[in-house]
Amino acid sequence: MDALSWGEIILRILTQFIPVWIALIATFALSITLKRRLGLYGKLFDSPIGMVGFALVMFWVFTGIFGGAFDLITTHDVLDQSATMKNKGPGTPYTKLMGEVAPDAYPFYLLGGDNLGRDVFSRMVVGAWEVIKIAPFASLFAFMVGITLGLPAGYYGGKLDTLLSFLANLILAFPVILLFYLLVTPEIVLTGIPVYMAAVLFIFPIVFLVLLWNSRFHTQPGTRNLYVGVTLIVGLWLYSGIAWNADPLGLVSFPPNLLVVFVAVVFVNSPTVFRIVRGLTMDIKTRDYVAAAQTRGEGAWYIMLWEILPNVRGPLLVDFCLRIGYTTILLGTLGFFGLGLSPESPDWGSTINEGRKLLSLYLHPALPPAFALLSLVLGLNLLADGLREESLRD
Amino acid sequence: MAMFILRRLGVMILTALCLTFVVFFLTNLYPNLEKLAKTQGNFRMTDEEVASYLGRNGYLEPLPVKYGQWMGVLPGWTTTTADGTLRGRCIAPDTPPESAPRFCGILQGDWGYSTVFKKDVGEIIGEKLALTGRLMFWVMLLMVPSALILGVMAGMREGSRTDRTLSTFAITTTATPEYVSGVLFIAVFASTAVGLKWFKGTATSAMENPTFENFFLPVLTIALYGMGYIARMTRASMAEVMTAQYIRTARLKGVSFPNIVLKHALRNALIAPFTVIMLQFPWLLNGVVIVETLFNYKGFGWTLVQAASNNDIELLLAVSVVSVIVVLVTQLISDIGYVYLNPRISVS
C-alpha cells in the first residue's frame, strides 16, 4: 500500500472526527435556537470571540469523551507498539514486524508513529481525555477551597485575614516547578503526604456545601436536614474513597499517582483563587444590599454565600475558564518534566517531551500534541474573553 | 514609608524562613534520604547500609537540629569514624578538625556542599545566576518594549481592527506555554526536517559565547509567553485612560492624535503595567526552568531541575532561597513603585 497524500490524511482525520462534528453541530444548533432563554450561557452566542472559544473547547471536550471514554475516534490502541512503524511519517500504512495485521485494524497511522512505533493520532485524541478528566475538576476543587477560605478572610478581615493571606502568599512565593518537584515524586507518594493533603483539600467542598445549605435553610429544619444529610452522606462516601482510598462500598477509588497530580494542581491553584475571592469580597461587602442583610440580622455565612457570592459570579466564572486553561498548562508542565503520570501515558505534556528529543529529525510526534494543547488553552482564553465581554454588557 | 518597608522586610524574612523549612522538611523525608544515599553510594545498598551512610553523614539527626545547623545557629554535626578521625559538617576534607569552625551555615556565609556537582553551593549558584541573568536581561529587553508598544497600539483605538488583531495575537501568546512555543520554534527554525536552520536548537554553546544564532530562540520563547499578558494589561489600562475626560478635552482643543497618545495618555496608562511587569518575574522563573531544560542552557533553572531530581538538599535549599528572594523583592519593588507612580495611593 502507498502512503497517503496530505489531502487524503486530512480527509480521513475529518472522517474520524465525525462523532465530534455531530455533537458540536447539535450543541450549537440547540444553543443558538434557545439562546434567549439560557441567560449568560446564551449570551455567549452573541459574541463571535466567545463562540470560537466555545467551539474549540467543546471540540476537545467531545474528542476527549468520545475518544478516551468510548473509544470511537482512535484508530489504534495508544500503547500498541509496532517495530516497523517507528518514526514513520504521517499517512504510513500500518504494518507489523511480527504476526499478521488484524483484518479489522485501521490500515494507516494517520499522523505517523512515534519513537516506539505508537500511533501519534490516537495518542493525541486520548491525551485530550487525560486533560478533560483532571483539569475541570482540579479547578473546581481549587475554587471550593479558595471560596471557602477567601470569603471569611475578606468579610471578617483582621487576624484571620492576615494569617490566611500569609499562607497564600507563602505558597505563591514557591516557584511552581520546585513545588512540583518536591510534591510529585514516587518518594513523596511513599511517605503518604499526598493523602494527607488530599484529606485536607477535599474536605472543603463538603464544608462549602454544608455551610451553603445550612445558612440558607436553618430556619426550615426539615429542608435543611434533608440537604445537609444528602450532602454529608454522598460527600463523605466520595471523600473516603477519593482521599483515603477507603470506600466502604469499594466503588470509588483513585490511583495514587493520579491523586498526587490532582492534589498538587489544586494546591497550586487555590491561593490565587483565594486572593481573587478575598479581593472581590472586600469590595462587595461595603455595598448597600450587604448592609441591608446585616440590618435584617442575617448570619455572616448567609451574607457571604447568598449575598456576596452570587454578585461576584461574573469575574469568578471568567477566572474559572482561565484557570482550567492554566491547569491544562500545569498538567503539560508535569508531563514535560516526566513527573507524576506514568511515562507511557498519552497526555500531551509527556508526548511533547518524548517528541522533542528527536525534533531535529522528526517533527510529527511532537507537533500534534503541541497544537492540541495550544488550541485548547486558546479556546478557554477566548471563551473567558467572550464571557467577560458579555457579562460586562449587562 | 520606612515603617512600611520595614514591615514588608519582616514578612519577607518570615516567609523565607517558613519556605526553606518546608523545602527542608520535604527533602529530608526518609524515602528522599534513601534515594540520596543510593545515588551517592550505589543502587544496590541494603537498608542497613543506607541507614549507616545517612548516620555517618549527619542526615539522621532531628529535623530542627539539622535546620539549625544549615542556618548556622547550631554547631555542625561531628562523628568519629572507625579509624578514629573526626568528620563533621564544618570540617573540610583536607583541614585538621581542630582549626575547623564550630558553626557553618547560611549566617556564616557557607551555603553547603552540592552532592550532585561536588562543588560548593555558593560557587554554583553564583555561576548559574550569572548565566540566567544574561538570559533574563535579553528577555526583558525584548519583552517589555514590544509588549508596551503592542498594548498601547491596541488600546489607543479600542475596538478597531488593529485592536482586534493585536488582542488576538496577545491572547494566543498567553495560551502558548513555553514548552509548546519552544518546540514549535525549534521545529520551524532549527530542524533539518523543515530545513530553514536559521537558529540553533540548543543554547549550550551560548553559555560561553552567546550569539544571535544560538541565543535568540530561548529568549524569544520566554519573552513571548510573558509578553501577551503585559500587552493585555497595557491595552486595558490604555483603553481606560483614552475614555477619560482630559483626553476628550485635549482632542477638543485640537491636539493631534499622536500627541494625545504620547504626551497625555501614555504616562497614566503605564502605571498598571509597571506592577504587572514586576510581578512577572516569578512567572519568568518558571519559563526559565522550562526553556533552560528544553534548550539545554545550564543556568539557574537547569540547576533547579538537577538539584530537585537528585534530591541535592543544600543546593535545592539555596535555589529556593534565591527564588524566594527574587519573588519577594520584586513584589516589594512593585508595591513601592506603584505608590510613587500613582499619586492617588498612599501607604500611610
| Residue B169 in grid coordinates | 495575537
**B209-246 residue pLDDT tens:** 888 888 899 999 999 988 888 898 889 888 888 888 98
The span from the CA of B119 to the CA of B113, in Å, is 6
Instruction: Name chain B contacts of A367, Cβ cutoff 8 Å.
Output: 183-184, 187
Angle formed at CA A286 by CA A280 and CA A290, multiple of 5 degrees = 95
Tell me: pLDDT of A97 over 80. Answer: no
User: Which amino acid would we find at residue B331?
Assistant: Q
**Helix, strand, coil in percent for chain A, rounding step 5:** 75, 0, 25
pLDDT band at A374 (very low <50, low <70, confident <90, very high): very high
Q: Kind and range of the H or E element at B285?
A: helix B271-295
Q: Of the candidates B29, B177, B324, which has its C-beta nearest A329's C-beta?
A: B177
pLDDT band at A207 (very low <50, low <70, confident <90, very high): very high
**B143-188 residue pLDDT tens:** 989 999 999 889 888 888 888 899 889 999 988 999 999 999 988 8
pLDDT band at A225 (very low <50, low <70, confident <90, very high): very high
Tell me: pLDDT of B348 over 60. Answer: no
Tell me: pLDDT of B332 over 60. Answer: yes
The span from the CA of B132 to the CA of B299, in Å, is 5
| Residue A31 in grid coordinates | 444553543
CB A128 within 8 A of CB A65: no
Q: Name every residue whose Cβ is closer than 8 Å to that of residue B86 and which is 6 or more positions away in sequence.
A: B78, B79, B80, B97
Tell me: pLDDT of B93 over 70. Answer: no
A43-47, A246-250, B15-19, range with the lowest pLDDT: A246-250
Interface contact flag, A363 B29, Cβ < 8 Å: no
Interface contact flag, A374 B309, Cβ < 8 Å: no
**B30-58 residue pLDDT tens:** 888 888 888 877 778 888 888 888 888 77
| Count of C-beta atoms within a 10 Å radius of residue B259 | 11
Long-range pairs of A228-236 with CB within 8 A, sequence gap ≥ 24: A231/A206, A232/A206, A235/A205, A235/A206, A235/A209, A236/A206
pLDDT band at A229 (very low <50, low <70, confident <90, very high): very high
The span from the CA of A327 to the CA of A264, in Å, is 11
**B74-84 residue pLDDT tens:** 777 777 766 66
Query: Residues 237 to 256 of A: which have CB under 8 A from any B CB?
Result: none
The span from the CA of A257 to the CA of A154, in Å, is 35
Nearest CA in chain A to B27: A182
Interface contact flag, B305 A337, Cβ < 8 Å: yes
Q: What pLDDT score does B60 carry?
A: 83
Cα B50 to chain centroid distance, Å, stands at 34
Indicate the pTM of the whole model.
0.90
| Residue B37 in grid coordinates | 544515599
The span from the CA of B28 to the CA of B59, in Å, is 8
Q: Where is pLDDT greater, at A57 or A47?
A: A57
Which of B167, B145, B170 lies closest to B157, judged by CA?
Answer: B167
Q: Of the candidates A181, A193, A362, which has its C-beta nearest B309's C-beta?
A: A181
The nearest CA of chain B is from the CA of A365 a distance in Å of 11
User: What is this model's ipTM?
Assistant: 0.87
Query: Residues 192 to 211 of A: which have CB under 8 A from any B CB?
Result: 193
CB A341 within 8 A of CB A257: yes
Q: How far apart are the first and last CA of chain B?
A: 7
Instruction: Name chain B contacts of A191, Cβ cutoff 8 Å.
Output: 29-31
Which of B146, B270, B235 lies closest to A385, judged by CA?
Answer: B235
Which one of B21, B183, B321 would you mutate to disrupt binding with A, by most A Cβ within 10 Å of its Cβ? B183
**A279-327 residue pLDDT tens:** 999 988 889 999 999 999 988 999 999 999 998 888 899 899 999 999 9
| Cα separation values, B234 from A316, B67, B158, B227, Å | 22, 44, 12, 10
Backbone angles phi, psi at A47, to 5 degrees: -105, 120
The mean pLDDT of B316-321, rounded to a whole number, is 88
The nearest CA of chain B is from the CA of A345 a distance in Å of 18
Tell me: pLDDT of A277 over 90. Answer: yes
Which one of A163, A174, A177, A367 would you mutate to disrupt binding with B, by most B Cβ within 10 Å of its Cβ? A177
Q: What pLDDT score does A26 carry?
A: 94
Q: What pLDDT score does B345 carry?
A: 58
Long-range pairs of B122-126 with CB within 8 A, sequence gap ≥ 24: B122/B318, B124/B303, B124/B315, B124/B318, B125/B300, B125/B303, B125/B315, B125/B318, B125/B319, B125/B322
Question: In terms of C-beta density within 10 A (0-12 exposed, 13-18 middle, 19 or more buried), how is residue B93 classed?
Answer: exposed
Q: What pLDDT score does B116 carry?
A: 85
Q: What pLDDT score does A394 carry?
A: 58
Instruction: Name chain A contacts of B319, Cβ cutoff 8 Å.
Output: 178
Interface contact flag, A337 B286, Cβ < 8 Å: no
Percent of chain A with pLDDT over 90: 43
The span from the CA of A256 to the CA of B71, in Å, is 35
**A19-36 residue pLDDT tens:** 999 999 999 999 988 888
Tell me: pLDDT of B199 over 70. Answer: yes
Which one of A323, A336, A339, A361 would you mutate to disrupt binding with B, by most B Cβ within 10 Å of its Cβ? A336
Q: What pLDDT score does A149 carry?
A: 94
| Count of C-beta atoms within a 10 Å radius of residue B276 | 18
| Count of C-beta atoms within a 10 Å radius of residue B237 | 22
Q: What pLDDT score does B292 carry?
A: 92
Q: Where is pLDDT greater, at B176 or A43?
A: B176
Q: What pLDDT score does B219 carry?
A: 92
Tell me: pLDDT of A278 over 60. Answer: yes
Torsional class of B227: left (φ above 0), alpha (ψ -120 to 50), beta (otherwise):
alpha
| Cα separation values, A368 from A91, A245, A259, B188, Å | 14, 36, 27, 14
Q: What pLDDT score does B157 carry?
A: 84
The mean pLDDT of B118-122, rounded to a whole number, is 87
pLDDT band at B342 (very low <50, low <70, confident <90, very high): low
Q: How many CB pairs under 8 A join A and B?
A: 134
Which of B78, B129, B138, B151 lies closest to B318, judged by CA?
Answer: B129
Q: Where is pLDDT greater, at B186 or A103?
A: B186
| DSSP letters for B118-137 | TEEHHHHHHHHHHHHHHHHH
CB B239 within 8 A of CB B200: no
CB A241 within 8 A of CB A254: yes
The span from the CA of A146 to the CA of A179, in Å, is 19
| Cα separation values, A202 from A164, A205, A304, A323, Å | 18, 6, 21, 18
Interface contact flag, A381 B183, Cβ < 8 Å: no
Q: Where is pLDDT greater, at A213 or B327?
A: A213
A366 at the B interface (CB within 8 A)? yes
The span from the CA of B143 to the CA of B138, in Å, is 8
